[in-house]
Amino acid sequence: MGFGNPVREDDGVGIYVVKRLQEELGERENIQILDMGTSAFEVLFQLKGQDRIILVDSVLNTGEPVGTLYKVPAEEIVSSMEEEQPHLYLHSLKWDQALFYAKKILQDDYPDKIDVFLIAIDSTRFDTEMTAAGKAGAEKMVAKILEELNA
């Protein structure tokens, strides 16, 4: 599942990654590649019945160079939200909040393995082209995910 806004410069790295994965992997019976855009609420419904989920998105203001890759177990993100109990606003739900609610709603049907892959960015200006550093980070992410899928 790739997230992002392709008209907000490097915010579109998640979308870029899933499009590249579609090119590399083609149609496979056991793999679904989903361009989620900015519709995080859809996550709730896409998780049910899946063995493994890989989410890809950008992360802003990390202090690291653009294109730096991160892999975070979703359980850490969901657990960190337990105390704050985010309010459910369907029109502004983010994927991390969607994971939190999906775990509560799906219970036993919630996937055991969800990894979140993030790419550091520092620009979300209105632009349909990614920066060279953002694109390089996205290409590194494509290679990393293909390596994980082949393992």
* Total-model pTM: 0.82
Catalogue all structural domains in the chain, each as residue range(s) with its CATH number.
Answer: 2-150 (3.40.50.1450)
* Residue 91 banded pLDDT, cuts 50, 70, 90: very low
Across 76-98, average pLDDT: 67
User: Is the confidence at residue 126, as pLDDT, over 50?
Assistant: yes
Burial of 30 (0-12, 13-18, 19+ CB in 10 A): exposed
Torsion sign across C-alpha atoms 76, 81, 87, 92? negative
Mark out the alpha helices in 10-131 (DSSP H runs): 13-25, 43-46, 74-81, 95-106
Across 59-87, average pLDDT: 81
Across 83-106, average pLDDT: 70
Across 143-148, average pLDDT: 94
Q: Over the stretch 6-46, which tens digit does the pLDDT of each residue have?
A: 899 999 999 999 999 999 998 888 888 988 877 766 776 77
Across 95-113, average pLDDT: 84
Distance CA 117, CA 143 (A): 12
Confidence (pLDDT) at 90:
47
* Residue 88 banded pLDDT, cuts 50, 70, 90: low
Backbone angles phi, psi at 65, to 5 degrees: -60, 145
Q: Over the stretch 50-69, which tens digit does the pLDDT of each residue have?
A: 888 888 988 888 889 999 99
Q: With H, G, I as helix, E, B as strand and everything else as coil, classify residue 57.
A: strand
